[in-house]
Structure 1
Amino acid sequence: MSNIDLIIEERPADIGNFLVGRLLPFRSKRMVGPFVFIDHMGPKCLSDFENMDVGPHPHIGLSTLTYLFEGSIMHRDSLGTSIEIKPGQINWMTAGKGIVHSERTPEYLRKSEKMLHGLQIWVALPKSLEQMEPNFYHASEEDIPTWTEDGVQYKLLAGKAFGKTSPVPVYSDLFFIEIKNTEERSVRIGQHLFGEAGLYILEGSIFNNGIRYEPKRILVSKEPNLCEFTMAPNTTVYIFGGEPFEEERFIYWNFVATDKVLLEAAKERWRNQEFPKIDGETGFVPLPER
């Protein structure tokens, strides 16, 4: 019997500069554990006159996780952070009661061809922390727990699993794991998972219960403790999830909250430009009229 409860395929979504593949939220599955939003960016080749320019925009009630496979993004925020994120590194920004950030192609790449490919993820904060003070954490590639077992390479990008802990300062029980191989391998990791679990296939394919599953889709498990599958050669997957929250989460634009009153207050603050500013940035992304 298959352990797969739901299959979610990437849907195109326009984020202003280019199309991304949206995976979460989905109409019949708004969250997997505390994970509330997942976009797959690229792979896209930007020409010498194309650049990523997502101007200042706000967030509340969540942490954002940016993880690149190719390319580079300059992150600036209202805490005074100014840092370039490169492949293999993790940007973890916790919005709490409110933060503003921008995401742009670094200046030294703006007049040359470049690739952009990665994941952008939102993780909802527990209700007791959704109005916490904002903060920012950057993890270099060498900071991330990495190991090989039976010809399979693992990275624990965030959370806890396999008796290991990522340095990324998460605020609830979760896991976000990268798994890669070069030769066909069977993987049985259910004993390391908890709560809810999703498996995102980036490249290659996996087999489960005699069925082949191709890239650009999430497989949501019925029981995380039964998670096992076979990876075709040269496959990369991401396992993510954790303990779900008791309360529903409401989403409007870049805001996540347990109470719609918080969303309305954030909308009004942004309309009135009452969020903190980013040094050196003058423009902003307007509130959607919907």
Structure 2
Amino acid sequence: MSNIGIIIPERAADIGNFMVGRLLPFIEKRSVGPFVFIDHMGPAELKDYQNLDVPPHPHIGLSTLTYLFEGAIMHRDSIGSALEIYPGAVNWMTAGKGVVHSERTPENLRHTDKKLHGLQIWVALPKHLEESEPTFHHIEAKDIPAWEEDGLKIKLIAGKAFGKESPVPVHSPLYFIEIINESDESKTVNIGEHLYGESALYILEGQIKNDGNAYDPKQILIAKDTKLCSFEMAANTTVYIFGGEAFPEERYIHWNFVSSSKELIEQAKHDWKDQKFPKVPGETEFVPLPVSSLK
């Protein structure tokens, strides 16, 4: 019997002037462990007149994780952070009680042809940290634990697994793992003993097989039992495994806000409408609150 409980397809979503593939949340599965939102950006070929421009917008109650495969993004936030992220590095921003940030093509790339490809992830915060002070951390690619095992390239991008720990300062037990099979032959992967809580697998490229079934890119596979996590990776395949311990309380998601409290979300909506959130230094634009958001 297959250990795959739910298959989530990638669905098109508009984030302003850029289309993405939305993976989480899904009607049958709102979250996986503390992971509540995943967007697959690209791969996009942008001309010299095309740029990513997501103006300042707010968050509460979550941490954002940005991980690029190609291209670069300029991050600015209301804490005062201003930093470019490149492939393999991690931007980890914890919103807590409220933060505002923008994401744009860096100035040096705005008038050239470029590519953009990566993942944007939201991780919910434990209830006692939902109203904490916002923070931002950037972790260079060279500082992410990476090793080879049984012919596979493995990275522990965030969290704890395999007896290792990523320097990304996560706030609850979780893992976000990259596994790449660059060889010309299939490889069997047995990692159930290293995982915990809820677990899911995203196929970026290539193909995996599980119990005689083949699965292609642009979908998430949710495991029924983390301990039984075993699959076959075809040649030239890249997957991301993520999950961890789920919270005891339900998490509500509305627009850019995540919280265990509907009241906090309502307050955040009104605060953004009234422009009471902190500002991103040097930026005057902002993403308006969707009209349908207010009661």
Give the TM-score, by structure 2 length: 0.98
C-alpha separation in 1, matches of 2:213 and 2:281: 52
C-alpha separation in 2, matches of 1:182 and 1:44: 23
1:10 — aligned with what? 10
2:289 — aligned with what? 287
1:62 — aligned with what? 62
Q: Which runs of 4+ in 1 moved over 3 A?
A: none
Query: The residue matched to 2:142 in structure 1 has which SS?
Result: helix
C-alpha separation in 1, matches of 2:42 and 2:166: 26
2:165 — aligned with what? 165
Query: The residue matched to 2:116 in structure 1 has which SS?
Result: strand
1:225 — aligned with what? 227
1:100-111 equivalences under 5 Å are: 100-111=100-111
What is the root-mean-square deviation in Å for CA atoms of aligned residues? 0.5
Query: The residue matched to 1:186 in structure 2 has which SS?
Result: strand
1:248 — aligned with what? 250
Query: The residue matched to 2:222 in structure 1 has which SS?
Result: strand
- 1:182 Cα shift? 1.7
1:39-78 equivalences under 5 Å are: 39-78=39-78
C-alpha separation in 1, matches of 2:171 and 2:110: 36
1:158-237 equivalences under 5 Å are: 158-183=158-183, 184-237=186-239
- 1:17 Cα shift? 1.1
Query: The residue matched to 2:272 in structure 1 has which SS?
Result: helix
Q: 1:56-89: per-residue Cα shift (whole Å, max 9, x none)?
A: 0000000000000000000000010000000010
C-alpha separation in 1, matches of 2:213 and 2:78: 47
1:264 — aligned with what? 266
1:81 — aligned with what? 81
C-alpha separation in 2, matches of 1:250 and 1:66: 21
C-alpha separation in 1, matches of 2:261 and 2:100: 21
Query: The residue matched to 1:233 in structure 2 has which SS?
Result: coil
Give the TM-score, by structure 1 length: 0.99
2:114 — aligned with what? 114
C-alpha separation in 2, matches of 1:149 and 1:108: 38
Structure 2 residue runs of 5 or longer lacking an equivalent are none
Number of residue pairs matched by the alignment? 290
Query: The residue matched to 2:264 in structure 1 has which SS?
Result: helix
C-alpha separation in 2, matches of 1:129 and 1:46: 38
C-alpha separation in 1, matches of 2:21 and 2:52: 16
- 1:289 Cα shift? 1.1
Structure 1 residue runs of 5 or longer lacking an equivalent are none
Residue 80 of structure 1 aligns with an amino acid whose one-letter code is G
1:87-166 equivalences under 5 Å are: 87-166=87-166
C-alpha separation in 2, matches of 1:193 and 1:56: 36
- 1:18 Cα shift? 1.8
C-alpha separation in 2, matches of 1:168 and 1:261: 30
Q: 1:191-212: per-residue Cα shift (whole Å, max 9, x none)?
A: 0000000000000000100111
Indicate the percent of aligned positions where both proteins have the same amino acid. 68
- 1:19 Cα shift? 1.2
Residue 206 of structure 1 aligns with an amino acid whose one-letter code is I
Residue 68 of structure 1 aligns with an amino acid whose one-letter code is L
Residue 196 of structure 2 aligns with an amino acid whose one-letter code is F
Q: 1:212-233: per-residue Cα shift (whole Å, max 9, x none)?
A: 1000000000000100000000
Residue 233 of structure 1 aligns with an amino acid whose one-letter code is A
Query: The residue matched to 2:43 in structure 1 has which SS?
Result: strand
Query: The residue matched to 2:153 in structure 1 has which SS?
Result: strand
- 1:3 Cα shift? 0.4
Query: The residue matched to 1:26 in structure 2 has which SS?
Result: coil
C-alpha separation in 2, matches of 1:166 and 1:177: 10
Residue 215 of structure 2 aligns with an amino acid whose one-letter code is Y
